[in-house]
Amino acid sequence: MLYPLKFKPIFKTVVWGGEKIAPFKQVETSQEHIGESWELSGVPGNESVVADGPLAGKTIAELVKEYKGELIGKHVYASTGDEFPLLIKFIDAKSDLSIQVHPNDELAAVRHNGSKGKTEMWYVVGADEGAHLLAGLKESITPDEYAARVENGTITEVLANHPVHKGDVFFLPAGRIHAICGGCFIAEIQQTSDITYRIYDYGRLGLDGKPRQLHTELAKDAIDYKVYPDYLTKYTPAKGKEVEVVDCKYFTTSVYELDKPLAKDLSGVDSFLVVICTSGKGKINDITIHQGETVLIPASATEVSFIPDGPMTLLTSYIK
């Protein structure tokens, strides 16, 4: 019988990374510029490894292949096969990330040997005073205008700029231009894909001292040029209950702000459940969870209990 699983984080050193991830996750590391901690990943070459218990040392890919629907859900396995379908990250931006966009499934499949596209969401774990991010267009432009603005360095002038605060949620369907900016600490939930088209990078050099590769032309056909009335996902926080914040074909995500135990019935859910702790500590069933940790609940589970030790905030994601 499968049980809740923790995985070893995969730290990523990047030019824009800060110093918040290690203390947030209460881990020691000598790495500098850690910008990302991949909490749960099935991306080839970056597959998460079980941290402890009888399955310690096994990768998520090996588990999915062995346990199939028992681990991720029968309908999920029928759709995604041996690939774990979500990628979970913490992101610490000391400075602005590049402006980028991700292709949708159809475009990614054609251009990248059948790969998936990338729809994602952000939950703001913390934000420095004055922190902001970019998401979506604030005025209409054509593909040719886009290319010209990238060339002359004015692309940021047509992007929607959002001040951010702890608890903010942004849903980013494939095709939406976006960038996390300095001072943002983000939990990111996304499709299992590492395809990113970097549009603009402020002329910055990478850790190797060379300009980072841009994908201006590839992005041109991937961008959704529609202007939307609002890009912030509105929701009303509620103590002691589940609050659904995103519901799409790729994942359904909820926020829990708890100070008392709460049980969730999973008997009608044919999917795994990812639980991400963004503040506080407590238990998930019999597994201790702290701020900065992620637990995978197998699809075979019929119930999960959240038992906070003081105030605790959780994110959960599964596939309907």
For residue 251, the model assigns a pLDDT of 98
For residue 225, the model assigns a pLDDT of 98
Q: Are 245 and 232 in contact, with CB atoms under 8 Å apart?
A: no
Q: Is 121 helix (H, G, I), strand (E, B) or coil?
A: strand
Phi, psi (degrees; rounded to nearest 5) at 69: -65, -25
Catalytic, 149? Answer no
Q: In whole angstroms, give the CA distance from residue 294 to residue 245.
A: 19
Vertex 299 angle, CA 294 and 305, to 5°: 60
For residue 73, the model assigns a pLDDT of 98
Q: Do domains 5-233 and 242-318 have the same CATH topology?
A: yes
* CATH topology classification for 5-233: Jelly Rolls (2.60.120)
* CATH topology classification for 242-318: Jelly Rolls (2.60.120)
The label of the residue with tokens 């886009």 reads 146
Q: What is the pLDDT of residues 134-178, one digit of tens each?
A: 999 999 999 999 999 999 999 999 999 999 999 999 999 999 999
For residue 212, the model assigns a pLDDT of 85
Q: How are beta strands 184-191 and 178-180 bridged, if at all? A: unpaired
What stretches in the chain show pLDDT beneath 70? none
For residue 274, the model assigns a pLDDT of 98
For residue 136, the model assigns a pLDDT of 98
For residue 74, the model assigns a pLDDT of 98
Q: Are 123 and 186 in contact, with CB atoms under 8 Å apart?
A: yes
Q: Read off the pTM.
A: 0.96
List the chain domain ranges.
Answer: 5-233, 242-318
User: DSSP states of 59-78 as a string?
Assistant: BHHHHHHHHTHHHH-HHHHH
Find the radius of gyration of the CA atoms of the chain: 19
Q: Is 120 helix (H, G, I), strand (E, B) or coil?
A: strand
Residue of 111, 198, 204, 212 marked catalytic: 198
Closest CA to 233 of 223, 241, 224, 243: 243
For residue 31, the model assigns a pLDDT of 74
